[in-house]
Structure 1
Amino acid sequence: MALGIDRFRDPIHGFIELQPIELAIVDTLPFQRLRKIHQLALTYLIYHGAEHTRFGHSLGVMHLASVMVAKDVKTFF
């Protein structure tokens, strides 16, 4: 797929910059499929601001996991 994008704008975390391995994961078809799955099911049909997808949620989770690992590595060494 190779989107060539190495950072995404997130409404909560600002810009999320991806490492090459993370980008390789995001570029897979299963991960891209998450763009079509709504985090809040059919809520977006009633509340237009509820346009959250599993893709955006997963990017945020990946970002937080990266931050946690980076802090643990710095603490460990």
Structure 2
Amino acid sequence: IASASYNKTVQVWCADTGDCVQTHNGYGDLVTSMAFSHNSVLITLAARDNIVRVWRANTCECIQTLESHGGSVTHHS
């Protein structure tokens, strides 16, 4: 399970225990959207800083940034 917060972070939680297992931070603005890949290996995170980031779910490593958006990114699929 993943959750976004007004403090510009995304946290990944263990559904079985309720423990926070990762925190993704460093966003310039509010995170507005997120999604896991079909196999839960990647997480995409979009923010009002006009950037979409792709993270490895198990390491918190950002592997891709998509920065050509002209405004806030609020939805993706």
What's the TM-score, normalizing by structure 1? 0.30
Bigger Rg over Cα:
1
Which of the two has greater strand per residue?
2
